Amino acid sequence: MTAAEQQNPLHRRSLLRAAAALPVAGAAVAGLEVPAQAASTAASASSASAAANGGRFDPGSPRFVLAVLPDTQYLFDADSTDPAPLREAFRHLVAERGEANIAFMTHLGDVTEHGTEDEIRRAADTFRTLHGKVPYSVLAGNHDIASGDDQRGDSAYLAAFGPARYQSMPTYRGASPDGYNTYHVLTAADRSWLILALDWRISDKGLAWAQGVLDAHPTLPAVLTTHDIAWADDDGEAQLSDNGKRLWEGLVRGNDQIFLALGGHYWPPGRTVLRNDADNDVHVHITNYQDRYYGGAGMIRTYGFDLARGVIDVETFSPWLLARDPAKRSPLEAETIELTGPADRFALDIDFDARFAGFAPVAVPKPRPASAVMPRGTVAYWRFDAAGTTAGGTAGRPVADGAVVRDLTGNGNDLAVSRLASSGPEALTWSADHHPGQPAHASLRFDGGKSPDRGAILTTAARAALNSEKFTHGYTIETFVRLPEPFEGDHSWMGILSWEGRNGDAGKTTGWSPLEPTCSLNLSPERFLQFVVYPQRQDADPTSWSHAVPVGRWMHIALVNDGRRTVMYVDGSRIARNPAQPSTGIATLGKPFVLGATQFDERFSHGFYGWIGDTRIVNRALSVREFLTPFA
């Protein structure tokens, strides 16, 4: 994992430590800019840190940051101007771009208080700290222009923050003819994202232009930024403003691409979630801190997108105040450093693939033929599509007792279906559900459980070669599993796969009980995977334990032995509790291999509860890249 992928948006606590080590950076008092030498020292130290951790934005990382800067108008207010907080915020974004993986910064308008040429000039000059280092957008707020909508014509704002400013940015794609609305396309997390920066009073012409941008980029998820979209009560509950209602009706609700809409203008901050015409969530947020100490002190909000976790982590803080010596901060500075209320620090749970499926569906990998996934040494391979069995094809259809799942290696390790106890047809059904990376697009749904015991199993024939395979040179056992959500009932110690028999009959004396089988993969009451094996050459029972595995989603499980030790992998990740005990081979007893349950004293009780997909056994250790679902 690269530094840019590490989960620590903007590393503000690292900056706190750096500030403590560099007291000169905090020597300024409120109202004065940080001395050039001190600022240079702090920026150099921060830049050096970023360089040491990569220093460049990584567009391929699944984690990236969108930085948001709201109303800075009180920092550019006639002769009260003090650009120091904004300049420090920009220094911070530049210094942290590589380590925090900052993709873009968007300003929400009201850059200045009166929109005079002098205020605009000072603000534009401050943006030079950021320019050419981090791409950004700026839009006009009501304090930046005299009046009217985006058809107002020339202004000091347009001269400084119009399209010409963005021409050199790799993200910039265009502007409306009037120049007050722009859009950017950035690449992050291996996909393109659209940023719309709309004037605070967009005209009908402007709305038509924005619709054209969306139409020209129909597969891009979009973030809409503007100055005035919503207001909130003191509890942070937001609702659309009059202008926000116009945007909602005229642009947002009918364009499923827009999943996040950001505005400033009002305080306090707040948020809400609206449902668009596609019945999907649109997150609407207000970000504005001008009413706080020092006009907001250059407060920035970071949206930490994490596509691996399916979440956006939102944080709000002032780099300018963080950079000060903690011992010299005034009380107001200390309490304004970071905002942690529910409207300022929170997480949005978003299944990005599902949210964007209506306009950018994820391409499902095509099934891979068995011949493509049987490397050297494959002993057995089972799958539940038409290549592996004739028992499937209809979702929810029971798989009858006696149905056969072929061993596609040709080694004769076919599996036959039978039910446990007095289980009915629903104990085993066919399903088209599958892990997205699984070679076959099919699985079996097991409905095992206790009180009474029930379930279904698939077993090899009495004389199958797999029953006696010892694997003394190593092995890789792989399967795909999905646990139901909700995970209802008592399913403790249910078996996923195993070999029949008693380890005591193999001469083993060290285990929990001589009556348990010589090899099994099970699920504990806490939903920990347990892989216990009695090796062929050692009198031992080395056992691997996973973390609590999730419900409601597919996972890939691999058990890899190199002839010396065994390692469990879940979704391509090596788990922590793998035994150091030597483990050579499996003390099989010539008895069947089983999918769907584990015996005790050669008797089955309850069976597996959930889905099982492709299962493969290879007589050597495979690398992670060689798994049925390759993990790079």
Specify the DSSP class assigned to residue 251: I
Residue 521 predicted with pLDDT over 60: yes
374-419 pLDDT per residue, tens: 999 999 999 999 999 999 889 999 999 999 999 999 999 999 999 9
Reported as a single tens digit per residue, the pLDDT across 314-326 is 999 999 999 999 9
Residue 11 pLDDT exceeds 60: no
Composition of the chain by helix, strand, coil, percent to 5: 25, 30, 50
What do you get for the CA distance between the two ends of the chain, in Å? 11
Task: Sort strands 554-561 and 475-482 into parallel, antiparallel or unpaired.
Answer: antiparallel
* Class of residue 631 by CB neighbours under 10 A (exposed 0-12, middle 13-18, buried 19+): middle
Phi-psi map region of 110: left, alpha, beta (phi>0 left; psi -120 to 50 alpha): left
162-198 pLDDT tens trace = 999 999 999 999 999 999 999 999 999 999 999 999 9
Report residue 632's pLDDT band, with 50, 70 and 90 as the boundaries. low
Number of Cβ atoms within 10 Å of the Cβ of 473? 14
Tokens at 224, concatenated: 């809409």
- Position 421 pLDDT exceeds 50: yes
Residue 364: pLDDT band with limits 50, 70, 90 = confident
- pLDDT at 4 > cutoff 90: no
| Whole-prediction pTM | 0.81
CA gap 20, 597 in Å, rounded = 59
Q: Which two tokens stand for residue 627?
A: 């798994």
Q: What is the pLDDT of residue 5?
A: 34
From residue 512, alpha-carbon distances to 479, 504, 532, 536 in Å are 25, 11, 10, 17
Q: Are 76 and 119 in contact (CB under 8 A)?
A: yes
Using CA atoms, how far apart are residues 20 and 323, in angstroms rounded to an integer? 8
Task: Count Cβ atoms below 10 Å from residue 12 Cβ, excluding itself.
Answer: 19
Taking only the tens place, the pLDDT of each residue in 18-62 is 333 333 233 332 232 333 333 333 333 333 433 433 379 999 999
Matching residue, tokens 């599993």: 481
CA separation for the pair 5, 10 (Å, rounded): 12
What does the pLDDT read at residue 630?
82
How many C-beta atoms surround the C-beta of residue 622 within 10 A?
22
- Position 295 pLDDT exceeds 50: yes
Write the pLDDT tens digit of every residue in 95-108: 999 999 999 999 99
Average pLDDT, the chain: 92
Least confident of 51-60, 393-402, 473-482, 601-610: 51-60
Q: What's the pLDDT score for residue 48?
A: 41
At residue 631 the predicted structure's pLDDT band, cuts being 50, 70 and 90, is confident
Q: Distance (Å, rounded) from C-alpha 305 to C-alpha 315? A: 12
226 pLDDT exceeds 50? yes
Residues forming a β-bridge with 64: 305
